[in-house]
Structure 1
């Protein structure tokens, strides 16, 4: 059950970050540099976009793992 909670929370956090945060962060990072080619702009924008999404997935997984750990029932000690 702990894995299921971690997967669901990872997906939810990654989806929220993808919709609301990844594009503005990637655009801000691209605006900090000057480029010689539009391809360089697209490459950096894509890289930052994907890195933010992967980081959000990892954070969501950790949050779900922690929540799943709190909900886990311990067997009684004998």
Structure 2
């Protein structure tokens, strides 16, 4: 059950990152760089967007893993 809760939190984290963080971060990073072609700018924009989404996914997973394990301290698989 802990994995399911962590996956739900990871999904929520990725959605929140995609909605509120990824695009502004990608716009900001590409605005502060100079490029020789528009393809280079678009590649960097895509890279920052994907990295921000992955960060949201990992942070969501970590929060879900911690939240789902709060009530299980001191119990092992053998105790169940």
Alignment correspondent of 2:3: 3
Asked if 2 retains the 8 angstrom alpha-carbon contact of 1:9 and 1:61, the reply is yes
TM-score using structure 2 length: 0.88
More helix by share: 2
CA distance in 1: counterparts of 2:56 and 2:21, whole angstroms: 10
CA distance in 2: counterparts of 1:21 and 1:37, whole angstroms: 25
Provide, for residues 18-72 of structure 1, a one-character-per-residue CA deviation record: whole Å limited to 9, x for no partner. 0111000000000110111000010000000000001110000000000111133
Alignment length (residue pairs)? 76
The answer for unaligned runs of 5 or more in structure 1 is none
